Structure 1
Amino acid sequence: MPEPSTKTGPASVEFRNVSMRYGAVTAVDNVSFTIEPGQLVTLLGPSGCGKTTTLRMIAGLEIASEGQILIGGKDVTKLSAADRDVSMVFQSYALFPHMSVLENAAYGPTVKGLGKDVAKQMALEKLALVGLKGFENRYPSELSGGQQQRVAVARALVLEPQVLLFDEPLSNLDAKLRRRVREEIRELQQKLNLTVAYVTHDQEEALAVSDRIIVMSNARIAQEGAPRDLYEAPANAFVADFIGDANILAVTVKSVLEGLAHVEIGEASVTLPARSLSAGPAKVAIRPEALLLSQTPAPGSLSGRIAKCAYLGNHLDIMVDTAIGELFVVRYGARQMWEPGTPVSVSFADTGVTLIPPG
């Protein structure tokens, strides 16, 4: 009886100047990146940015128009999906409705001719791993959305692929379940030391599960890095606005000395890392939690008036009218509401205020 193959561990994924064209439309434009073995990397961006096409090229479901794709150092650019050691969890889960949970999970090894007993043993092991022991004889229609998602993960894991791919895996779940299942996926990925490429348009999801995030915009990479780097040091206005909320304001850099910029934000002034910018026009991205409100005027601050204040349980969402436009402010743990029309002084926290290029 054939035994399941022994894997050597997770593999890297590398794109070298990869493009994908459909006629006159360029879906992915000269993209290069590396996913290190055992990392979970998220492809994040709005609809139509190229992230799903990129994932499908890793899977072999689309063949790149240009460039090279390597998995575990091996050039797989022209290989079909069947000849690549990857598995994909689809947005719809794509479970077979007429098959039991066990039959769904055992489908891969069965098709590969490993024999019913071996296929069953492999499927039972992975179903137990995703917390579905005891559900083997149920059918997909008898499961919740979260349970169906786990069956899809077990089926993808059963052949122990070098790379596991997720295409918007949580979009069919409600908000509370999404949080729980994303934690389970992350825990499983770390426990099994899997290389994972994960596509989502949900920035909170990306921040929660990723070792690294690749932000895509208009078929190109806008920025890549660790979640904290992207949130705290966005490269441009698009990334600042897409990863969390940000107030994007036009500012003037008055001077730069030893890497520090003296910046005028309306009537206020701050000192920020220059990030290779020189004196002249620029923009600043200010996180809502980095704006501090006081009813006592402070030097170097902006004056404004409360426009709106909404209570959201663990925080307040506040809109403040100022001479440089309306600012969005978040106050965590605050209980006291601010009345519209209340005069306030707006100052800036030490973090969450970042210079970005003017373009």
Structure 2
Amino acid sequence: MPRHAPASIEFRSVTKRYGTVTAVDDVSFTIEPGTLVTLLGPSGCGKTTTLRLIAGLEIASAGEILIGGRDVTTQAAADRNVSMVFQSYALFPHMSVLDNVAYGPKVQGLGRARAHALALEKLELVGLSGLGNRSPSELSGGQQQRVAVARALVLEPEVLLFDEPLSNLDAKLRRRVRDDIRDLQQRLNLTVAYVTHDQEEALAVSDRIIVMSNARIAQSGTPRELYEEPASVFVADFIGNANLLPGDLLREEGDRAVIQVGALTIDLPRRGASRGPVTVAVRPDAIRLHGTQPSSPAIQAQVAKAAYLGGHVEYTVGSALGELFAVDRTDRTPMPVGAPVWISFADRDVTVVPR
């Protein structure tokens, strides 16, 4: 178990400028002790700079940064009790696995025997017992990632940071290693800030997600809140590849509304919208494709693309509402390109996007 209790992280109106470029713009958030919070967004949105500000690898131009309630805004990285797992792993190729993990404690003045004992303990924790004498080049990508995690944990930090930790792994390993990281975080009650551009990865590992866009926070919340109640068109599109469709709010009924989308009339939570044009986000799984015209109202369309992916078929269909992306998990036989189809919506995963 870590010697230090997990610490909170707090940003108070933090800004980071590089000359005339603002990389982080007036950002405020709190990461509670013992939680895993993901900074999610496209390249250049400010998420990695935010992580480096937590680590002390960058110093804020304005605002305050607190770790465990202590103001660390101007402290250097060496003075913060924070460890970081880099995208590249940054293992020393000429050192054994054991010496890689023991390096930090040795630099901090611990004797060789004690440093090695701590390193062996952390290697066991990440499932690498017995591999201490190997060199990093003799390990798989997933094992190298675990060595990097063990090397960060051996310093027993208050906060653990991950910068795109799965980007160098193949698809199968990504799932396994992300599950390992989440399990370790929960078992050890660690405070973790985790950076990724992969929305599925963020949904899978996070207690909360902070979505960033253009150096600011677009929305923060639980994975379910962000997926089911996106606060903007950007968030709806970035998390879950929503189809963004024009609608017309016909009637307000308390906190619900009757909305016309093409030939369909649907009842949805109003989410602050009022009568007139609205944007409706429809998840790919919420689009129902019918090979023959159903008796209930439906939107006519035509199959433009069909891709068989084993457990489901992905479709692009053309319609009067524009090009739509749909996922069919019920029928694994793809409909032919050019085939006429009719579209209806499921009862869930359809939401009004606030203006």
Query: Which category of TM-score, normalised to the shorter sequence, fits these structures?
Result: over 0.9
Could you tell me which residue of structure 2 aligns to residue 177 of structure 1? 173
What CA distance in whole angstroms lies between the structure 1 residues aligned with 2:2 and 2:86?
26
Residues 224-267 of structure 1 show CA distances to partners (whole Å, capped at 9, x for unaligned) of: 11111111111111111111211111221122120111111112
Structure 2 gaps of 5+ residues are: none
Which of 187, 206, 209 lines up with 2:205 in the alignment? Answer: 209
1:281 aligned partner: 277
Distance between the aligned counterparts of 1:6 and 1:103, measured in 2?
Answer: 20
Q: Does the alignment pair 1:236 with 2:221?
A: no
Correspondence for 1:271 among 262, 267, 285: 267
Task: State the Cα deviation string for residues 122-156 of structure 1 (Å, max 9, x = none).
Answer: 10000111111111111111111111111110000
CA distance in structure 2 between the partners assigned to 1:244 and 1:151 by the alignment: 32
Give 1:168's aligned amino acid. E
Q: 1:15 aligns with which of 11, 35, 43?
A: 11
Q: Give the Cα–Cα distance (whole angstroms) in 2 for the partners of residues 208 and 182 of structure 1.
A: 8
Q: What TM-score do you get using the length of structure 1 for normalisation?
A: 0.96
Q: 3-state DSSP class of the match of 1:228?
A: helix
Q: Does 1:319 align with 2:330?
A: no
CA-CA distance at 1:102 after TM superposition: 0.7
State the shift of 1:304 in Å: 2.0
Instruction: Give distance in 2, aligned partners of 1:319 and 1:6.
Output: 49
Letter of the 1:166 partner, please give it. Answer: F
1:124 counterpart residue number:
120
**1:116-265 equivalences in 2 (<5 Å):** 116-265=112-261
Contact 2:93 2:135 in 1 (8 A): yes
Are the counterparts in 1 of residues 4 and 157 from structure 2 also a CA contact under 8 Å?
no
Residue identity opposite 1:226 in structure 2: T
Paired residue type of 2:297: G
Distance 1:302 1:333, change over 3 A: closer
C-alpha root-mean-square deviation of aligned residues, in Å? 1.4
2:312 aligned partner, one-letter code:
H
**1:232 partner amino acid:** E
Percent identical across equivalent pairs? 67
Contact 1:297/1:345 (8 A) holds in 2: yes
Q: 3-state SS of the aligned residue for 1:106? A: helix
How many residue pairs were aligned?
354
**Separation in 2 of the partners of 1:29 and 1:176?**
36
- Per the alignment, in what secondary structure is the counterpart of residue 172 of structure 1? coil
Distance 2:188 2:9 in 1: 17
> Which sits farther off after the overlay, 10-19 or 306-315?
306-315
CA distance in structure 2 between the partners assigned to 1:298 and 1:38 by the alignment: 52
Specify the alignment match of 1:42 in structure 2.
Answer: 38
Match of residue 27 from structure 1 = 23
SS at match of 2:151: helix
TM-score (norm 2): 0.97
Q: Which runs of 5+ in 1 are unaligned?
A: none
Letter of the structure 2 residue corresponding to residue 330 of structure 1: V
